[in-house]
Structure 1
């Protein structure tokens, strides 16, 4: 599959030479078109001394001179590989693995916090006088806020970098856990659950952006699989930890455990080296392009970027400033949602996430009822099969996605496209709806526990095999907007999870596990259909979206230069 083509921006992306910190490096001129050639991989440029940290530069490489020239012709900046100081893509393999380990560790917090206090529902109701509806609200609001707050965090991270967001969000999460552990009313507890959700949500969006900062597209599938598999340890181990803590120390101990976990993670992030480079952010490049266009309109000819300013040959200069529209999360999110291929992937991803939450929530009730009559510890062990399937599916699915991408890229003359990721899902696509249907009726008919356990494992495995590849697709198909794309996806899945948490129990009571999971078998089949449609037509949709964005950008540039 060929990568999408695009129109000329009217500016040549020509290699120029500038001197940064005494080393010669080649750079690309700033293209007023913020779009990139989505799907294709460019050869990464190298320069002497790029890996060495320089105390005279900040973490984003704010130093040196990059020349910008205006010329007529064809050209496009490959924003994936714009040269930057101390390029995270050039870090050693061991350093990258340490970053991956830290991000993976942090990703455990959101899902662990969602499930660790589930076994404590009875104690919370008895001590705080909470109703079933209030307990359900504490869960569904957590899911919804955790899904939508990343829209704000991702916008901040594309301006200020990843590290400040990690530190601020983990601090917020820690405070929420401390107050929740001392809560004397269900209202305070629900409020702190919302605060916890807002704090844990950042890693769900900018974690994927961090991995996009340091890994090339060809290896992101495997890295995304590991990153998301770690987060899946939360739903797997949460009920077990929660059951043990609640039985031994009471429900408040679950939140104190989270305080310790969050505090340790926060300390580790103090030593985290930021991976964000603003030169590879569309928000920063848009600000540069606006300033450069105004400078060229005044003086014409070439300009240079120096000390955060655009300077023309005639001596006029203008500071590069990010405007409100650059930090506004709505505009980039809206642009992402205008792409049909992204919508189809996100709807499918949201259905998968809702399926996971519905299964975890209702299975705990199913196995607490006759004839199983399991306590919280045994329920946790049963759900461990679903969690282990999630973890294995995420890791193996990510690796298979990278292998499949490499093979198809070789067959396509060395050119890759994001839609090639979907081909790796074919092997498990039939398993997903079939395993959901099998679980529906093994649970409904109350067969031996081995039956539901096997079905839970297979459905968890196939769900996360597909889901990890959809994350890699979203990153690959949204170059320069990866954190925003994952944040929008998080909003989709958070909303879907909120709805699933609210309707799962009423539906289970009304039509039983058989009816509920037969519906889910149909919904997962719809997910498979959406993925196949994207594989077939996604490339054409991306190409049209890129052309539309280019025309919009060219029109804006003409208006700026006319002022």
Structure 2
């Protein structure tokens, strides 16, 4: 509905310009190698204080749209972990092993991984809004199908399809923020927004653990469907298009229809056709995934963080049930410690960002901090991840209170926030309008690995025990710990060698 009103506002704005005979103030002639085309094409642009430019919308409306996107990201992240609490019960229902039932969660994550490769380029080809609404509608359909699944195989397939269509919301939100907010403002917004992809999979087990215990395992999907449906209705009613090239394309089309002058064009329309744009975007995804040091290294780090999140979804059975005899509801309520840690990490990131912004004010002439300065919260928090893993590994014993394990989980949540938020912020500042493709590449890496981790967790904990699994995680965290430091020191030089850097 909001998209309709946005279209009407754009139409009215064009009519007013035509009536004033002032169209030359926001239209520019452009020369190309084809002389005839250069003389007949005029490319439309946003004018100063143009209300149709997402970056010039009123702040209150931009914040409102951000909240809606936040909800879409939260519920799709929620769904990724919602059914992790029911593997034991569902496995008994289907007559399969718990490892086999863990495929339900894995297939969702695999779906997110492969869907992200398509979602990012599609959002930069057809627009953010059609991508959000179209894919989310299919996500709702397949979530309902999973809740009604008559067979084990059907549940696995439906969960995979739900993840495939959930991927858009989980991979293009960074691009939406870049559409609406300048770099300086994004520094204030992003830490709050980053709560969505982190809190979704950490709060979901707290709720669905009790739902599984009291109402049955199918209620994990039903409850997900209820809250996701509410978020979707809000998006349908109030979310507009935010991708500037698409809006300019609409503007050019309207001017052609209203004036009968076919010379009005948007650069987005003239560059390539649809299939060529998709092909170029897929090539960009491949470049981000395999060739650019920035996305490859941070992709490894963020992948490891998500391995820990989804590894804990299965591992809490060993950490809290087998060690402290927690029931299903109590076991996953322990995830509240991780959620509390994430919440405590928010003010840390906000305060450090504010300090960095003030410090860099003169260095960047008021244009916000340097991209590398975004990494300062991660630089100082990276050793804490190592500490959290060793703390949990060496104190998870029956003769030590479970409050010690909860404290380690809280520290883990703190480091999640302190590492995830700055690294994503750095990528947003680095890649600008193609940030969706960069984030999609990283989303592909981290969810593909996380899907495998869900399957491997139970055999891993069985073979190594809690202590040595967490010691292994701590050692990997120690190896990856220098990555934020490397980019803090050498990031500017590395960015200058990356072909997609827009700075």
TM-score by length of structure 1 reads 0.75
SS of 1:251's partner is: coil
Cα contact 2:178–2:433 (8 A) shared by 1 = no
Distance 1:548 1:513 in 2: 42
Structure 1 segments unaligned to the other structure (5+ residues): 1-49, 72-80, 289-303, 311-317, 551-563
1:532 paired to 2:485: yes
The structure in which a higher percent of residues are helix is 2
Number of aligned positions between the proteins: 461
| Secondary structure in structure 2 of the residue aligned to 1:120 | helix
Partner residue in 2 for 1:65: 27
1:154 maps to 2:120: yes
- Residue aligned with 1:412, SS: coil
Aligned partner of 1:199 among 148, 154, 165: 165
Aligned counterparts of 1:364 and 1:306: Cα–Cα separation in 2: 65
Deviations 1:441-487 (A, max 9, x none): 11256521110000100111012211111111111111220111111
Q: CA RMSD in A?
A: 3.2
Q: In structure 2, what is the equivalent of residue 226 of structure 1? A: 192
CA drift at 1:210: 0.9
The one of 286, 302, 308 equivalent to 1:334 is 286
Residue number among 266, 271, 275 corresponding to 2:242 in the alignment: 275
**Quick one: distance in 1 between partners of 2:337 and 2:184?**
31
Equivalences for residues 77-92 of structure 1 within 5 A: 86-92=52-58
Mapped contact 1:444–1:512 kept (Cα < 8 A): no
Cα distance in 1 for partners of 2:270, 2:154 equals 46
What corresponds to 2:383 in structure 1?
A: 430
Cα distance in 2 for residues equivalent to 1:305 and 1:549: 32
SS of residue matched to 1:55? helix
More deviation in 247-256 or 210-219? 247-256
Displacement of 1:194: 0.5
What does 1:286-301 align with in structure 2 at a 5 Å threshold? none
Aligned to 2:378, the other structure's residue is in SS state: coil
In 1, Cα distance between equivalents of 2:500 and 2:227? 47
Instruction: Report what 1:457 is aligned to.
Output: 410
State the 1:180 CA deviation. Answer: 1.1
How far apart, in 2, do the equivalents of 1:204 and 1:123 lie? Answer: 28
Q: Which residue of 2 aligns with 1:486?
A: 439
Asked if the contact 1:400–1:424 (Cα under 8 Å) also holds between the matched residues in 2, the reply is no
Which of 95, 107, 114 is equivalent to 1:141? 107
- Aligned partner of 1:19 in structure 2 is none
- 2:260 is the alignment partner of 1:308: no
Distance 1:94 1:477 in 2: 26
Which position in structure 2 is the counterpart of 1:396? 347
Is the Cα–Cα contact under 8 Å of residues 156 and 327 in structure 1 kept in the other structure?
Answer: yes
Per-residue deviation, 1:321: 4.1
Task: Provide, for residues 63-93 of structure 1, a one-character-per-residue CA deviation record: whole Å limited to 9, x for no partner.
Answer: 963322579xxxxxxxxx9977611112122
Contact 1:181 1:253 in 2 (8 A): yes
1:247 aligns with 2:213: yes
CA distance in 1, matches of 2:247, 2:429: 14
Q: Name the structure 2 match of 1:300.
A: none
Q: Which whole-Å deviations, capped at 9, do the CAs of 1:320-352 have from their partners, x for residues lacking one?
A: 542423113421113334322232222212112
What SS is found at the alignment partner of 2:11?
coil
1:235–1:387: 8 Å Cα contact kept in structure 2? no
Q: Please, what TM-score do these two structures have when normalized by structure 2? A: 0.83
Deviations 1:86-110 (A, max 9, x none): 1111212211111121111111212
Confirm whether residue 170 of structure 1 aligns to residue 128 of structure 2.
Answer: no
Q: Which residue of 1 aligns with 2:470?
A: 517
Residues 1:510 and 1:82: Cα distance change in structure 2 (over 3 Å): farther
SS in 1 for 2:431: coil
Map of 2:495 onto structure 1: 542
**Partners of 2:392 and 2:56 in 1: CA distance:** 46
SS at match of 1:149: helix
